[in-house]
Amino acid sequence: MSDENIVYSLDVAKNLTKDQLYQKMYESWGITNEKIEVWGELSINDLGNWAGVRYAKKLSDNQEIEYPLEGSQDLQFGVFLSPAVAKLLLNDEKTCLVSCELVLAYRTQREKKDNPFLLAVKEDSIQRLTHLPNSISNSERLSIIQDKDRLLISKIIYDSEIQNVKSRVAADTSALLESVENKKLEISKEKEALEATHHKEAEALKTNIELQKMELNKSIQTLQKNQDKNQLLSSDNAELKRSIDVHKNNIDDLKLQQKKIEEIMARKIEKLTNFIEEKAVFLKTFEFIDEEDFDDFIHKVDKSRDTSELLSFKDVLKGDYKLAVSYIQAYLKEQDILYPRHIIENYLTLLRTNDLIILAGDSGSGKTNLVNSFAEAVGGVSKIIPVKPNWTSSEDLLGYYNPLEKKYLATPFLEALIEAQKNPDVPYFICLDEMNLARVEYYFADFLSKLEERKEQPTIELYSDDEASHVLSELKGVNAVITSAQEKYSQGGITDFVSLMTDENVNAEIKRAFGFSEKESLIKYHGEIRRMLAGIINTPSSITIPENVRIIGAVNIDETTHYLSPKILDRAHIMKFKSPLLSDWDSILKEVDAYGFTDVSKPVLFAIDELGVRAPYPKYDGNNEFCALFKAYNSDYFHPLGVEFGMRTIRQGLNYLALFKDVNDNSTQAINNFIIHKVLPKFTFDGDKKSGGMNKLQRVAQVFYPELEKLLDGIEGEFSAHIALSEIIDNAESNDSIVNYWA
């Protein structure tokens, strides 16, 4: 049964959402273009404090409409319009005919009138009619013209309709005469064409015969030329063979030279390795470094990655990112971790952008769980670094060099970077948990600037190389003194630090060389040198952010945290979470079961470049559909609202769209995600402030929202940008018009 002409009780209607109210009116009135466009009589009362459009009829078919609400006759009595706007249109008249678009009135007005369907005139759509709508039949037009005094039709419309009748009669007569002349001309042309065709066919036949003769002659000439060429080719082949032999000899000579160079380099490397090993053995013997530092020093530790318990993305999943998303979702399900497919698609794509990702949501919404569980699903390592409220500079994030102790005091964040550098084949996901407990732009700004480097992996300077040089210079002196003392008092086989300390002669010689008094302790000095050297070995003066590292932030938004500044939002992707209790778990389980995997026990092995390569963003192209769309959006919507939106953001969007295609072919979904990541998080402003002829909240609700809804047609659910915007609007309407994405 069709919903057409069905009316609803007030109890049913008041529980419908805004979208459902529109849908019921569209269905009841047979509207297909999702616009309520009508024409009717605009009038204003004698007091001038009420104005509206009465006797509304659809522009498309001239049908009268009434609210699909039991007992309602409100619509034909009039749809409200601001009296100020009405006076401008009426121009001292009491009534006139107009066309306009109708939209739902504000919620407070609908509740006051006890009519959830209550409409209002969209002010920027109303215009005075200069002619009757095309949907009106000729008989209705004639009736309206004859009854013009009662309907108060303006002289402009009346004259226009009379002229239309005259024009139609004249046009019909002219068209008939023209049709007759055209038919005559058509017959004449057909006759000429037929004669011309016969003539052309005869000429073509003659020409074809001549061409066949010419082709035959050419073939004979070509055969003769080929015979001549064969003789030349035989000669050329001999010359070519001689040339190839010469090049082969040259290549053999070059290979011999290369082999000699490689042998020389191998001897030099072996000599250098032996020298380094000799010095490392000295440092280890006299306990300046421990066993682990010694192995790192001479590269004897095998740090190759064991991949036997991992599932190859390239070989088993055939490099298919869509299949990888399905497998990862199924793998997590086996670990009792349920995420909708959309989250896995989105998160994997964001990781491949090599941009900063910020996971936003309430406590317990699954932010850090996503970091940990995804890292496990790809055989990677997750590092959760808690941010402290007292962080104010990059030193709190990366540490600092202590000149008194002559060593660098590292932080867990820096230690995670160094660990990742030592394991270049393993993906590392470093998450700054509760990132906005401190002001992000204070402690993270320098690091964020480094992340903007797209042509190569950015390098972070930790401390001056001069500091390391001082320590090494002092160590060189220690080495010389110990070696000299060892050679001078070599009796008894002094081979380690303990032996040095227990030999009175050597001990006295070392103190004399260093200028120490009898009371000063060599053991204490040894400990200081050991700590300084360990600091240099374990913490380099600079570190290049490893290719296998992805930086992620997790933020809560409440009264204890700071909002993210425009600088941070401009350079990051915001991925917002809701409570997992709101997810449809049954739907997720059915989704995973449909994949048909029989074994999802192994994590996926991704090569580091398969998880994204740091490269410059795609160039801005004014002819690109995405670029043109958001350039127009910036001009029409974002700039009037005071929302910052620049070229970098569009180029980030181009990069995201290109990568998202690997997991999902739906380009509308990709644009939807981009708006959630990069646009809506910047919607924080006072909706009462004016923007053009309306306030900002009205511009969002009446101008931007309908455009976004049309753009994202078909995208529904909790990850829909236009539904998220609708929630922002509803929250603003009930919160003194304060627009805040984060509320």
Is 533 exposed, middle or buried (CB count within 10 Å of its CB: 0-12, 13-18, 19+)? buried
In this structure, are residues 145 and 158 in contact, taking their beta carbons and an 8 Å threshold? yes
Distance CA 282, CA 328 (A): 50
- What is the end-to-end Cα distance of the chain in Å, rounded? 42
Distance CA 3, CA 246 (A): 88
Q: Say how far residue 482 (Cα) sits from the centre of its chain.
A: 60
Is 383 exposed, middle or buried (CB count within 10 Å of its CB: 0-12, 13-18, 19+)? buried
User: Is 743 strand, coil or helix?
Assistant: coil
Phi, psi at 71, each rounded to 5°: 75, 10
How does DSSP assign 28-65, residue by residue? Answer: HHT-SSS-EEEEEEEEE-TTSS-EEEEEEEETTT--B-
Distance CA 38, CA 61 (A): 10
Q: Tokens in use for 82?
A: 């601001």
In this structure, are residues 560 and 677 in contact, taking their beta carbons and an 8 Å threshold? no
Question: Going along 179-251, which residue ranges are E strands?
Answer: none
pTM comes to 0.59
- Per-residue model confidence (pLDDT) at position 366: 83
Look at residues 721, 728, 720 and name the one whose alpha carbon lies nearest to residue 687.
728
Distance CA 539, CA 735 (A): 51
- Per-residue model confidence (pLDDT) at position 2: 43
Give 536-570 pLDDT, tens digit per residue: 566 777 888 999 999 999 998 777 788 888 889 99
Q: Count the Cβ atoms, other than its own, within 10 Å of residue 30.
A: 14
- How many residues in the chain? 743
Q: Tokens in use for 583?
A: 């997810």
- Per-residue model confidence (pLDDT) at position 3: 47
Q: Tokens in use for 488?
A: 């001078």
Q: How far is CA 277 from CA 270, 300, 494, 495, 534, in A?
A: 10, 10, 20, 16, 17
Position 681, amino acid? P
Q: Say how far residue 118 (Cα) sits from the centre of its chain.
A: 39
In this structure, are residues 471 and 406 in contact, taking their beta carbons and an 8 Å threshold? yes
User: How many alpha carbons fall within 13 Å on the CB side of residue 592?
Assistant: 23
- Per-residue model confidence (pLDDT) at position 603: 97
Question: Going along 227-365, which residue ranges are E strands?
Answer: 311-312, 356-360
Q: Say how far residue 637 (Cα) sits from the centre of its chain.
A: 20
Rama region for 406: left / alpha / beta (φ>0; ψ in -120 to 50; rest): left
Positions in the chain whose pLDDT score sits under 50:
1-3, 272, 275, 300-302, 468, 491-492, 494
Phi, psi at 431, each rounded to 5°: -110, 125
Distance CA 679, CA 470 (A): 51
- Per-residue model confidence (pLDDT) at position 717: 79
In this structure, are residues 291 and 411 in contact, taking their beta carbons and an 8 Å threshold? no
**Residue 51 bridge partners (DSSP):** 44, 81
How does DSSP assign 506-571, residue by residue? Answer: HHHHHHHHHT--TTS-HHHHHHHHHHHHHHHHHS-SEEEPPTTEEEEEEE--STTSPPPPHHHHHH
Distance CA 201, CA 217 (A): 25
- Per-residue model confidence (pLDDT) at position 519: 56
Q: What is the DSSP letter of 636?
A: I
- Per-residue model confidence (pLDDT) at position 578: 79
In this structure, are residues 510 and 481 in contact, taking their beta carbons and an 8 Å threshold? yes
- Per-residue model confidence (pLDDT) at position 1: 37
Which domains, from first to last, does the chain contain? 10-151 (no CATH), 155-285 (no CATH), 322-462+546-587 (3.40.50.300), 465-538 (no CATH), 617-740 (no CATH)
User: Is 428 strand, coil or helix?
Assistant: strand
- Per-residue model confidence (pLDDT) at position 743: 78
Distance CA 646, CA 514 (A): 63
Q: How far is CA 208 from CA 195, 202, 211, 558, in A?
A: 20, 10, 5, 87
